[in-house]
Structure 1
Amino acid sequence: METLQVALGRRSYPIHIGGGLLEQAEELLRPLGVGRWVIVCDDTVAALYGAPLARRTGWPLVTFPAGEGSKSLEEYDRLCRRLVQLGLTRSDGIVALGGGVTGDLAGFAAATLLRGVALVQAPTTLLAQVDSAVGGKTGLDLPEGKNLLGCFYQPRMVLADTVCLATLPRRQLACGMAEVIKYGCIADEELLTRLEQQEPDWPRIIRRCLACKAALVAQDERDEGPRRLLNFGHTFGHAMEALGGGRYTHGECVAAGMMEMLRWQTAHGSDQTAMLARLGALLERYDLPRKLDDLPEAAWRQYLLRDKKRSGGEMTIAVLERPGHGVLWSVTPEELLEETRWM
């Protein structure tokens, strides 16, 4: 087991990375001094990991339907009512066991129920292990867009059990690889090179990605400055995901969103032709798309105008200065809509 630290003063917390951590969960969580834990996971993860963890520990298990559609007010209401019915108190806590949807939904419930209870993130997907489980972002979707309802709420601990990656379908593994590639693009060219030349070493990859994320969160917990570099590919990607009607995974949309941002940069005086070729080849290596089709122009234009990263008349976007080095630009939505070539 390897351990990283997210340095946030009194709210600092450890990230444990290694195989078999779920089997050690009761022991690892004991020092947190929480009265009782409740496991929250989707029905797919329940069969694989939730039910075995509940049997070992005696902790109650609450499930919800798998899929992005569960990041809704309706499912949030059902989850909170079930937790209340189980007698959850402010001295108890929630273990969010699963992927990004679980972390968002269970994390938002932990942040708001009883004005806040302890939260442990136990990510089981590559995407969650390298990104979404760390940093405190929780949220729900609205019909108007992704993650429009949410808050920052840091966990007390993160358990990234690499054994869980063995049960991921190939498409979900590729989904997480999009976020791994993003880290390489914005902060770690050596990681990009390794991904191009070697088969993935999961513990090493997760550690490198989370070391980057932990450092950015420590600098900028509330996503007002350098942490926004992590949004590379997400400005266009979130619009694609929202408008894709469930046809594309988050990672597929981020992959296409990174390519689209490089095209946009090239059209606006920052030539990324070489990086477009390099990134395109890397995406292809890991079964990720360079571009997504069938997106209605009027709808994605309106979505970008509602982007939650917009402040007044401008929005901050993450772009690449060179491989392994991202920077932030401030642009107007109208500038961002120029030279987009999704259609």
Structure 2
Amino acid sequence: MQCSDCLPLAPIEDEGIVKIRRASPALASAIQAAGYALDAFKTGYEIPYDSREQLKAIMKLLEESEEMEQIAVCVTGAAISGLFERWVPLTQLKARVSNHTLVDIITNKEFCSYMQPIVDSTEQIIGFEFLLRPLPHGPEFQPQTLFEVARRSGLHSFLDRAARISAIESSARHLPEGIKRFVNFLPSSIYNPKYCLTHTFQTIQQKGLRPEDFVFEVVETEKIRDIDHLATIFSEYREHGVHVALDDVGSGYATLEVMSRLQPDYVKIDRGLISMCDQEPHKQTSIKEVVEKAGRFGGKVLAEGIERREEFQFCLDNGIELAQGYFFGRPEFEPPPRLFEI
């Protein structure tokens, strides 16, 4: 099984063909009346274009039609084989064209993985979280913006998978065996866990890495709409010997109810609760509740966003033995030298 998100991605070229499906003869006539050449094929029509401006004009014409919501579009260039045609709603194509700089970063995989240390109670590094960042000498972008553009362009599954692969490959280059590698994933990008995660498990195997060194964590930026689906994803990860984590527990969508239902191996407490936790009683109450409920199913609790010694000490005093934050180190392209000190 192979879905369109597993197929190669190509940038939209300055010359090519716009193909449309589910368009009526009336819309085809309107396109011709606007001065564009139009050829029919078995399931739709083809409209050649010879500039980016002409492509935008064709899209505007389609957008103004009453059939905008029903038609599917595909843009191909001279180098694209019909085997790899990617059909999308018009809104997604519009997002790709209007954000072409960021879309090119996605399609060309012009990004890398930085790593932020995770420490134990003695401040020894036991792992790293891998975070998507621009290449050292590549085009700049904000990760959150890149993922939002990917979502609106229909490329979020492609980007999420590519980011996971980047993290695994980076860990293979930089980290010794036994160091945990925390890798983010978007549940909505994994339609069928058995097939969508194939590339992830293959990369771990091909790099000669130990599955038990990996922890895949749910990204909090999207609402967890289908708990059963997420539980299925967790199960697939665990069947392959890797661990799972729930990020930002105590805030947003990662509620205590979700945590108790999923019972992740690692529970990462939201940085909003950790900030100034040594001074704010209501945060202390929430943190203690997370620790108590995670303890019921054996979840290891990790405090995110530690920036002060006092915050770390409060966490230690209340049963949290793993921590992450600027106090221990910022995300960097390579691990700090102290990782290799004896």
Whether the TM-score (by the shorter chain) exceeds 0.5 is no
Q: What TM-score comes out, normalization by structure 1 length?
A: 0.31
Is the helix fraction higher in 1 or 2? 1
Structure 1 or 2, whichever has the larger Rg, is 2
Q: What TM-score comes out, normalization by structure 2 length?
A: 0.31
